[in-house]
Every structure is written in C-alpha cells, then in structure tokens.
Structure 1
C-alpha cells in the first residue's frame, strides 16, 4: 500500500493527478509487482524508498526538510539493495544538470552526498572485501531473446504463459510508452528526471552485462515504477476520456487474466525441489551429479543436506567438465532455470547430441537426466 501511495504522489508531482491515479492503479494490479509483494524479499521496501526519495527530489532540494528526507531514504535504500546506487547516480545527474548555476544549492547537495557516503561506508567495505553473498544469482545473459522475455515478465508477471499472442500485447505496451515520451513537454525537468530514472540504470546494466551478467527482471524492478508512470502518461495523453477508460480497461483485463492464472497455479509456480531431491536420493548410487545453473545448488542442498555429492555447471563449463568423464561412465544432470540462464536451450541440446540418454524425469521447471558417455 505504501508503494501505491508513493507512486501516486510521485506521478502526480511529475505530471498531474490523473497520471498519478493511473500509475497507482497499474502498480497496484501489476502481476509483476504483486508476485514480489507476496514474497519475503527486499523489493517492495527498496521501491518505496526509491519513490520516496524521488518524490522529495522533485519537491525541491532548496528546502532543508526535503534534502533531509532524501538523505535518509538514500542511506536506507543503499543498505536494502545495492542496485539502488543507480538511483543515487540518477539523482546526482539530475541535480548537476538542472542546478549547475546555483552554487549554494549544489554545495548543500554535495554535503548531503558526503553524509550518505559516510553512513554507507561499512557496507562499501563489505562489498570491496567481496564478503557479500551472490547478489547476482539468476542474472540473464543479455540477448534479444532474454530482453523480450524480461519485457514480457515485467508486464505480465508469472502468468505470462497464459497468453498466446504475447507479441501483440508487447506492441501495445511499447506504443503507449512511446506516446508517453512525445511532446508537448509542459514539465521538461520532471520528464527529464523520469527518463533518467528509467533509462540510465537499465542501459548501464545492459552495458555492464556484456561481460558478467547483472541483468535480471527482479533486479530492475527498482526502476519499473518509472516505466509504469511513462505508460500512464501515454494513456493520459489521449484526448477522449472514453478512449482512456477503454485503454485502461484493456490493460487491466490483461492483468486480471495473468493474475487469474497465477493464483490458479500458485502451488505449481515454484520448483518442486523436495520431490526432485527425493528422486535423486532414491536413484543415484555412485554416479556424478551436476546442477545447472550454478546458483541452483542452494534449493537443492536445502533438501539434500549433504547426502549426495554434486558439482555445479555453467554454460562455459559444459564441455570442459562433461568431456572429462570416462567412456561408458554414467552421470546425472539436474537442469533448472535454463529459460533464464540460457533461453536458447544450449544445455539440453548439448546433452542430447553428445551423450546417451538413459532416463529423464520432468518436474515443473526442473529436468533430471541420467546420461552415459558413449564408448568408442
């Protein structure tokens, strides 16, 4: 509820109350955000802090109260999720480019940034020492397929598989977002901040992910409210209220179909690791066990409790690890989250083309294969 209220306040401040109302409705019923709001994760909290900080930034840093609220919010959100550092970067870009002539204002802002730096220095020390857990587990290899998959996930959430013509839905959302960017620009500074907030972090993440991937739908959820506000401005831009209402009803209809699928299949949305690990325990003797993707060892080990030894596999390790097996040797591969880690299905194709399949068991989003190395 707090995020719904803050996106209404921010969008109203950026544009008008109608845009704020549409933004709050879209956020409140977004399948993507509803999914994460029901999990014990940090995303709702960091989104609230980001919206809170941006709202008081738009209100103006010339007032001490606003600057104080921004400083507190930024310290808290940096401790909540490291990707909120992109929001701090965006705010600095905005203040520097819009207030560079106001030396007094810039001085106050710089002092506030030093205060933030002092308060988060313990967390920075931990990050530099590389003692943090794997923050980027589940990050996607950047490709056109993964980007399309992410866009659908952002708009349709966990129930996206219910839609057959996903491309048409995506085109509608893209079209409305583009309209949201078009003139007239009555509030240029506000639109400039929204563009910075939405595009700078995502573009930087895409650039950084050309090496090690840091890109994942749930991590960019911090910036998705900016997309919803832009989408809402696109809807609001239509001249006739009847057309605005029709567009809103159409989008909410898509949301409700996705949510209906989500709640109808709630029990099946999470991978059944308990059953998968039980099967491994019952059928594995002394063969080697491999898990793809690497970070999937956590849910596996939760039920395994050290009973079965295993190794993790990444895309780059497929050939090096599996080709080192002896001729005629049997082994097991547990494949999970390949639709994110490698949407093109390289692990499955590699196993099918290079090894002899002995047996296969499929669970929801988990595939267990027993294979054998061919004998020459």
Structure 2
C-alpha cells in the first residue's frame, strides 16, 4: 500500500487502462465546487460504475427488506427486544452486570421501539445498515485496488447469502459490519496518505464497531498490527512517524474506555469454563469459511482459490496490500480457533471478514480480464455473483429460516386449556415463546426448568395438572449432563415437533 498519493494515482491509472475501464471514452462532468442535484445526475450519467453500483444497492435493498418480518423471532432476537425495553441506563447496567453484548445496538433498538415491536421494526435497522454496506465495500475495493475490484466486491456482498441472512436479523452483526467497513475504508486511506484525519476516523469508527459487538476488537487489533509491521522501518528511523497511528489508537481507546473496562471482566468470565455451545477446533475455520462463502461447499473451494489468486495479483503490485488481505483473513481465524476451547465461537461473530474476503476475491479480476480481453469482463463477474446466489435465494424467502415460534405457539394455544402447565426448557426460551403465546389468554401456568430435579419438583407440586413441556436443543447447553432430557424420556410423551422446537406432554 503506497505511502505517497502520487504513486497510488499512477498505479490506479495503469490498472484501469490495462484491465478495462468501463468509463473509457465517456466524458466526465466538469469538476465544480458547487454540490447540486444536477452535478450528481451528470456524474451518474457519465459513469457506468455508479450506474451499476446504484443498481446493486437497489437490488440489495429489495433482498434485505423483502419479507423482513416473515420469519419468527428466535431466541437472540427476542433477547434484543427484552434489553431494548429497558431504559438507556438499564441497558448499560445489564452490560456492566454480565450481558455478553455491548449496549449500542440495544440503545438504537430502544429508539426503534417508538415505531412498535413488530418483527419488521426490530429488523429494520440491521437491514438498512446492511444495504448501506454495499456502497461502502465498493469504495473500499476502489481505494484498495480499482473501480473494477470495488464493483465486483460490492456485487458479492449484494447477493451474499450470509450477509442477507444477518441483515434480516434483529442483532448487531450487520450494524457492526457496516461500521467496521467504514473503519477499514479509512484505514486503507490512512495507510496510503498517512493523513491524520483518516487515522482518527479509523479509530473512531473502530470504536463504534466495538460498541456494537465485542468481537470487533479482533480485526481492529489486526489492522493496528498490520500498520506496525508495514511501517516498522519508518518508525525505527524516526519514532515521530508513528504519531498519526498513535492518534488512531488514542481515538479508539478514549471512545471505548468505559466498554474496555467492562470487557476485561466479561472476557475473564466468558473464558472461565469450557463452552457448552458453539463450534470448537478446526471446525471453526471450516464453518466460518463455508458460511461466508454462501453455505455451499461447491462455492467454498473456488472462492478460496480466487482469494489466493487475488492475493497473488495484489502482491505483484502492492505487497503491503497483500499482507493486509492475509493478516485480516488468517489472524482472526487463528484467534477464533484458539479461543474456541475457552469461549463459545460462532461464524457470525466473524462477519467482519466479508469486506476483506470479497475484496480479495475481486482482486483476482485481472485473471478474468486476461481470459476475455474485454473491458466488460466485470459484468461477467457481477453476473456470476448473481448466479451463485440463485440456489439460496430460490428457497430463502419461502422456507422458514429460524425456529417457527409463531406457528408453534398457535398450535400450543390450540392444545392447552385453563389450569394446564406450560414448562419451558431451558427457561430462557420463554422469551421467543411469550412473544407469540400468552398464558394469560389460555389460563395456563408457565414455568421454567433446566434439570431433572426441577422437573420432578414441578410434578410433585402440581401432581394433578396436565403439563406441556416445550423443549429446544439449547437444553444441552444449559444442562450438558442430559439429566432433563432423561427425565422427559421416562416421565413424558413426545407430542410433536416444529423445526427445532419439541413438545412433550405429561404421561
């Protein structure tokens, strides 16, 4: 990543000339200091890149907002609602008291509750920020390599099954990715120009991403490490060359200080025992790469090969940029592999890999251009991004993607009667259940249990009441011994299943 703006401009010109500039031959509008609607229209008319980007952003909007409220809320989304209902101070106190998610997303959702508590409203903010990430990644790719790379990376994100899924979930993953993408953008700019403003903005947007999700601290640390490695020679020759990088670190620490203090304690708690859920070992790496590649082994292999090819092409012209791709993909995966033995690890925590992964894949574009020798080769890459997502999109909007608590609750309500017991295993599964099911309406008594002893105590207390036991696979995380499931096998009858929700009745 060149340190002088002049070098970067020359490389960009050579890249576009040799690999096909879609705007070659078009007359760009005369630059003007006046920002007006006419200027914007003229810019769009003269740039095929902007035209395609607008089309991709609009497609991304449709894919992320269509059927936004269709799936039932699942446990984590119901938990979002529970925290968002608290006061702003109460949300912070929950984080300081042991909630393993930062408060910023809950604060924003607290404001969204002014518009209601529907599934659509709860998912609106992630969907909106998910759409905005598309042009953000275009600019990252453009700054990192050229406009062709930016457009292909934006297309890959637009039709990414992984990103579409989490843009339609009322959790902080898509919002965290948006703000981390802005941090990455300003890091790329700062690495090239060493401009203090870009370094500070990198630090500030990194802090916002961290306030969205704790695991954002990992890629932020990797970027700082990359800066230290690539600037080591300059820093050794004169320590003042580290001044602007230090500004970014100070900006991050100052903006994150209250949360950093809380994080240390939460990390110690989180790693104090062996995790009872999540993915462990090498499967963390495989599952993460599989999911960010679109949940398909058929896509995983060519994507990895294209990423490696993209790194190779980048290495020939920009070794610091190639190191950035390597550092940002390898180090977070290795860190997750190590941490998986001490804390729950799930691929969605690494959603921040998407911009680097897609920019790396898009950087293999010179190979495609060499094959077709036509500047419109970039259109083939965009079309390929659409085609590989087709199998996913063909069923995504017609098949429930989360446990169907809405349908289950309706069925449960048709079976229960006044005086019946509804026992939820584990107890926290009452959050998504109660979003749709009202025991007050049915006249039932709702209880929770985790162990066989607790189930037996409920039976002893209410020996003459009919009981309905609502169970999910999370019971094995809450009760790894399997004691509660063993009790159900002996004392209850299986009454049916709806996706991952199981119903038992008293024998």
TM-score greater than 0.5 by the shorter chain = yes
Shift of 1:65: 1.9
CA contact (8 A) 2:293 2:299 kept: no
1:232 aligned onto 2:365: no
**Structure 2 CA distance for aligned equivalents of residues 337 and 245 of structure 1:** 45
Counterparts in 2 of 1:245 and 1:67: CA distance versus 1, 3 Å = closer
**Structure 2 CA distance for aligned equivalents of residues 311 and 234 of structure 1:** 54
1:57 aligned onto 2:187: yes
Larger radius of gyration: 2
Counterpart of 1:191 in structure 2 is 322
Counterpart of 2:176 in structure 1 is 46
Counterpart of 2:51 in structure 1 is none
Counterparts in 2 of 1:217 and 1:57: CA distance versus 1, 3 Å = same
CA RMSD in angstroms comes to 3.9
Counterpart of 1:113 in structure 2 is 249
Shift of 1:39: 3.6
CA contact (8 A) 2:281 2:341 kept: no
Deviations along 1:9-45, one digit per CA (max 9) or x if unpaired, are 2122222322111101111121221222234443333
**Structure 2 CA distance for aligned equivalents of residues 38 and 358 of structure 1:** 36
**Structure 1 CA distance for aligned equivalents of residues 499 and 352 of structure 2:** 28
Counterparts in 2 of 1:6 and 1:325: CA distance versus 1, 3 Å = closer
Which of the residues 260, 278, 292 maps onto 1:124?
Answer: 260
CA contact (8 A) 2:155 2:385 kept: no
CA contact (8 A) 2:421 2:447 kept: no
Counterpart of 1:269 in structure 2 is 401
Shift of 1:115: 3.4
Counterpart of 2:302 in structure 1 is 172
Counterpart of 2:56 in structure 1 is none
**Structure 1 CA distance for aligned equivalents of residues 292 and 276 of structure 2:** 15
Counterparts in 2 of 1:83 and 1:10: CA distance versus 1, 3 Å = same
**Structure 1 CA distance for aligned equivalents of residues 396 and 208 of structure 2:** 32
Counterparts in 2 of 1:195 and 1:297: CA distance versus 1, 3 Å = farther
CA contact (8 A) 1:15 1:187 kept: no
Counterpart of 1:256 in structure 2 is 390
**Structure 2 CA distance for aligned equivalents of residues 148 and 360 of structure 1:** 36
Structure 1: 5+ residue stretches without partners: 161-165, 313-320
Shift of 1:110: 2.2
CA contact (8 A) 2:314 2:322 kept: no
SS in 1 for 2:154: helix
**Structure 2 CA distance for aligned equivalents of residues 147 and 288 of structure 1:** 40
SS in 2 for 1:218: helix
CA contact (8 A) 1:75 1:116 kept: yes
1:212 aligned onto 2:343: yes
1:203 aligned onto 2:338: no
Counterparts in 2 of 1:263 and 1:182: CA distance versus 1, 3 Å = same
Deviations along 1:128-155, one digit per CA (max 9) or x if unpaired, are 5659xx9xx9962325666544444323
**Structure 2 CA distance for aligned equivalents of residues 353 and 298 of structure 1:** 22
Counterparts in 2 of 1:191 and 1:63: CA distance versus 1, 3 Å = same
Counterpart of 1:366 in structure 2 is 501
1:142 aligned onto 2:280: yes
Counterparts in 2 of 1:68 and 1:141: CA distance versus 1, 3 Å = closer
SS in 1 for 2:503: strand
TM-score w.r.t. structure 2 length?
0.57
What pairs with 1:19-38 in structure 2 (closer than 5 Å)?
19-38=149-168
**Structure 1 CA distance for aligned equivalents of residues 149 and 257 of structure 2:** 38
**Structure 2 CA distance for aligned equivalents of residues 46 and 193 of structure 1:** 20
Deviations along 1:201-260, one digit per CA (max 9) or x if unpaired, are 2321221111221x2232211222211122222354332137876665444212123123
1:4 aligned onto 2:134: yes
Which of the residues 432, 435, 444 maps onto 1:299?
Answer: 432
TM-score w.r.t. structure 1 length?
0.75
Structure 2: 5+ residue stretches without partners: 1-130, 440-444, 460-466
What pairs with 1:341-356 in structure 2 (closer than 5 Å)?
355=490
Counterparts in 2 of 1:45 and 1:332: CA distance versus 1, 3 Å = closer
